[in-house]
Amino acid sequence: MLILGIESSCDETGVALVDASGSATPRLLGHALHSQIEMHQAYGGVVPELASRDHIRRVLPLTDAVLAQAGLPLSALSALAYTRGPGLAGALLVGAGLACALAYARGLPVLGVHHLEGHLLSPFLSADPPEFPFVALLVSGGHTQLMRVDGVGRYALLGETIDDAAGEAFDKSAKLLGLDYPGGPALARLAQQGHASVFRFPRPLLHSGNLDFSFAGLKTAVLTQVKRLAHARLDGPARSGLADPLSLQQKADVAAGVQAAIVDVLVSKSLAALSATGLRRLVVAGGVGANACLREQLNTACAQAGVRVHYPELHLCTDNGAMIALAAGLRAQAGLAFVDAPAASDYCFDVRPRWPLAELGSQETPGST
């Protein structure tokens, strides 16, 4: 079974092909990605209309490239998959439109995949795939969640952020430090030259006794610190939010302090989730999962607690088509209904810009199509 997957939920166009024949973990046959980072950089963040238009420009050439990589014609495909949500409505429609058009033209089934399910299952493409059940820490630009995962499509929410996501906390702090979009990787790079102990930032909800997160207060603490430092250097009132007067070392120390605060909370809550569920396996997925400091501290903490920790390949941490094709393949192998059954039968399609992952488990029955 050959499945072509298309991701277009935000600022990356990704296309990939997996072979999901038999019961072995689906194998990646080809994968191509175009990141819009450069295009959005001038605006300091994603401009949804520009994102949609760029997806339109990229998605067909990327599809051709993936088929060429795999040495297969379009007629070899057995099914199509696309990111149905959550994400930007206009951007999602591009992937949905192409997947459903191809499915209609070739008379094939089509599957609308949940973006976070793609992230969640992406470590199955790594050299060290996990086994069910496990606790998943999903840390992306829009989501921070701890889930209990008992199998494909069997997800229970343990805790989530009550305001900003961890990626958002990285991005907003980076902006306050005058770093380019996307702020997360830039802040992580700057933090390497800093000392986390110079400025201590709050660890919100660290001892809340539940598995929820809150990161909104962190950006206020960073803003206050940046203003204070700027004020001291200028010896007068600082202009709001401007980090320009700060020395590179001060910026690096702030970056290291912010990163330490976010990582501390993520590590501590992940361990609490493992102990609450009694599970001995942790999967980390989503863009923030690429953060080296997070990986290092999770590895140490999990080794001490006797927990195995699994990550996606580094290049599959952020958005990509491979995780969408993979999730579709794993669903097909598990005998799960295609999520958007109407599209499978009459090729109408819709997207879900807001779509709680927990809805997946309650929507379908194994074996139905």
- For residue 39, the number of C-alpha atoms closer than 13 Å in the C-beta half-sphere is 17
* Tokens found for residue 104: 């209609």
x/- contact string, 307-326, with Zn ion (CB under 5 A)? ------------x-------
Judged by beta carbon, residue 276 or residue 293, the one nearer ligand KG4 is 293
36 near ligand KG4, rule: CB under 6 A? no
Residue 196 — φ and ψ, nearest 5°?
-70, -20
Strand partners, 117: none
> Can residue 318 be called a binding residue for ligand KG4 (CB under 6 A)?
yes
Distances from the Cα of 258 to the Cαs of 173, 249, 270, 342, 362, in angstroms?
A: 8, 14, 18, 46, 38
With contacts defined by CB under 5 A, name the span among 19-27, 135-143, 182-190, 324-332 that binds Zn ion: 135-143
Determine, following the binding rule CB under 6 A, whether residue 324 of this chain makes contact with ligand KG4.
Answer: no
Q: Smallest distance from the beta carbon of 342 to Zn ion, in angstroms?
A: 25
Q: Which of 26, 30, 183, 194 binds ligand KG4 (CB under 6 A)?
A: 183
Nearest-5° angle of CA 165, CA 166, CA 167? 90
Interface with Zn ion, residue 140, by CB under 5 A:
yes
Nearer to ligand KG4 (CB atom), residue 109 or residue 312: 312
Q: What is the largest CA-CA distance in the chain?
A: 71
Position 257 contacts ligand KG4 (CB under 6 A): no
Between 140 and 225, whose beta carbon lies closer to Zn ion?
140
Note whether 290 binds ligand KG4 by CB under 6 A: yes
Q: For the residues of 275-333, what is the DSSP string, one character each? A: HHHT--EEEEESGGGG-HHHHHHHHHHHHHHT-EEE---GGGSSS-SHHHHHHHHHHHH
Closest CA to 362 of 159, 144, 153: 153
When binding is defined by CB under 6 A, the residue of 5, 90, 95, 185 that contacts ligand KG4 is 185
Give me the 141-160 binding string for ligand KG4, x by CB under 6 A, dash otherwise: xx------------------
73 to 102, contacts with ligand KG4 by CB under 6 A? none
Spatial distance between the Cα atoms of 47 and 93, rounded to a whole number of angstroms: 16
Q: Which of 17, 18, 125, 188 binds ligand KG4 (CB under 6 A)?
A: 188
Q: How many residues bind Zn ion (CB under 5 A)?
A: 2
Q: Which of 109, 123, 182, 321 binds ligand KG4 (CB under 6 A)?
A: 182
Nearest by Cα to 194 from 250, 253, 247, 258 = 253
Give the SS3 label for residue 157.
strand
Q: Which residue ranges make up the site for Zn ion (CB under 5 A)?
A: 140, 319
